[in-house]
């Protein structure tokens, strides 16, 4: 006991205990990142196993891109870990303070269900509102579908504000820490639907859950597949709200985005849609018409001013690919 007391004195004198007491509430919401850190070795192992299966097909696997995908995911994890406690956690704590109901630990399943429901609407908004799409587009810009694609995430997510879709759960009375944990487990599950190796699962699984088949549709840029199958763990939300489309063997998904960005630069991959969006907002027009680019769909464009022939029929400007840079 004396030795333990001596060790505690060393820690107290170092200032680390007080630092931890200060940081612990800040990092509490991001216990989900701890789950991601623990899961990452599994992700890498599964990706290596998949690589051995598909390495001879460049349409399915490109090693430099796979490494880049993990780098994109690492950037996302770093910004989430550093800033979630500063930006999101105080808002969640405020909502939870004024919660409507007193819920207990037995509501775990309802937490999962609520998070999955909110994920559906967050995901749908991230495709149909350009501000959110600007952060989400990096996840869709790969022209391959494999486990590494799941790691393509945006380091700006925490600043983009997609976390606001889960605030109603805290206001109802669900503990924000458990909301974050349920969200983390949902993302871990979703990692495993990013593959072409699993064709179809039993019918009851395909009916209830998001599966590799359903998610291949979601990543397709085929006109029939765009903005479909938003579900995270469950696919029932898509069936309920009319956004479900099954994968067709006669119409295999073509992966990527309609205005493909060809770049190996992480910063470009994270920011190109923001650049394009703000460029569109800078075009002449009223303040309201410019701001509409933030919440209208990504493909929406303002009508060109009638007194400006230079803008008539102007195409949607885009960030150039690496090959187009001087």
Domain ranges of the chain: 28-274
- Which pLDDT score, from 0 to 100, does residue 103 have? 86
Question: Phi and psi dihedrals of 250, rounded to 5?
Answer: -85, -5
- Which pLDDT score, from 0 to 100, does residue 326 have? 40
pTM of this prediction?
0.86
- Which pLDDT score, from 0 to 100, does residue 310 have? 38
- Rounded Cα–Cα distance for residues 225 and 243 (Å): 10
Contact 90, 258 (CB under 8 A): no
Q: Is 325 helix (H, G, I), strand (E, B) or coil?
A: coil
Q: Which residue has the tokens 């630069």?
A: 265
Q: How confident is the model at residue 81 (pLDDT cuts 50, 70, 90)?
A: confident
Least confident piece of the model among 16-25, 30-39, 162-171, 308-317: 308-317
- Rounded Cα–Cα distance for residues 157 and 83 (Å): 10
- Rounded Cα–Cα distance for residues 307 and 300 (Å): 21
Contact 90, 170 (CB under 8 A): no
What confidence tens digit (pLDDT) does each residue in 89-111 have?
Answer: 889 999 999 999 988 777 889 99
- Which pLDDT score, from 0 to 100, does residue 86 have? 82
Looking at mean pLDDT, say which of 2-16, 35-49, 81-95, 280-294 comes out highest: 280-294
Beta pairing partners, 234: 209
Q: How many CA atoms lie within 13 A of 211 on its CB side?
A: 19
Across 236-242, average pLDDT: 98
CA 117 to chain centroid, in Å, comes to 15
Closest CA to 185 of 83, 36, 30, 29: 36
Output the CA torsion sign for 290, 295, 299, 303.
Answer: negative
End-to-end Cα separation, the chain, in angstroms: 68
Give the percent of the chain with pLDDT over 90. Answer: 72
């Amino acid at each position: 006991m004396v030795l333990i007391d001596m060790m505690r004195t060393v820690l107290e004198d170092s200032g680390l205990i007080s630092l931890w007491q200060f940081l612990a509430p800040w990092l509490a919401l991001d216990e989900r990142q701890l789950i991601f850190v623990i899961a990452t070795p599994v992700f890498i192992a599964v990706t290596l196993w998949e690589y051995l299966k598909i390495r001879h097909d460049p349409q399915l696997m490109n090693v430099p891109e796979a490494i880049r995908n993990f780098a994109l995911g690492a950037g996302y994890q770093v910004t989430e870990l550093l800033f979630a406690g500063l930006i999101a956690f105080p808002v969640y704590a405020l909502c939870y303070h004024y919660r409507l109901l007193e819920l207990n630990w037995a509501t775990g399943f309802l937490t999962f269900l609520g998070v999955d429901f909110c994920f559906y609407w967050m995901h749908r908004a991230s495709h149909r509102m350009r501000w959110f799409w600007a952060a989400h587009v990096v996840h869709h810009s790969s022209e391959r579908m494999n486990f590494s694609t799941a790691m393509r995430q945006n380091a700006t997510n925490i600043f983009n504000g997609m976390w606001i879709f889960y605030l109603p759960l805290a206001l109802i009375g669900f503990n924000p820490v458990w909301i974050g944990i349920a969200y983390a487990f949902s993302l871990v599950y979703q990692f495993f639907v990013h593959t072409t190796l699993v064709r179809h699962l039993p019918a009851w699984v395909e009916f209830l859950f998001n599966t590799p088949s359903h998610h291949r549709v979601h990543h397709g840029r085929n006109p029939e597949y765009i903005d479909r199958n938003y579900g995270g763990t469950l696919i029932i939300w898509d069936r309920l709200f009319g956004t479900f489309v099954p994968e067709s063997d006669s119409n295999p998904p073509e992966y990527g985005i309609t205005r493909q960005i060809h770049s190996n630069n992480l910063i470009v991959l994270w920011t190109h849609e923001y650049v394009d969006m703000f460029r569109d907002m800078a075009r002449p027009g009223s303040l309201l018409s410019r701001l509409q680019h933030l919440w209208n769909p990504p493909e929406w464009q303002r009508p060109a001013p009638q007194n400006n022939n230079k803008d008539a029929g102007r195409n949607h400007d885009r960030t150039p690919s690496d090959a187009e840079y001087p």
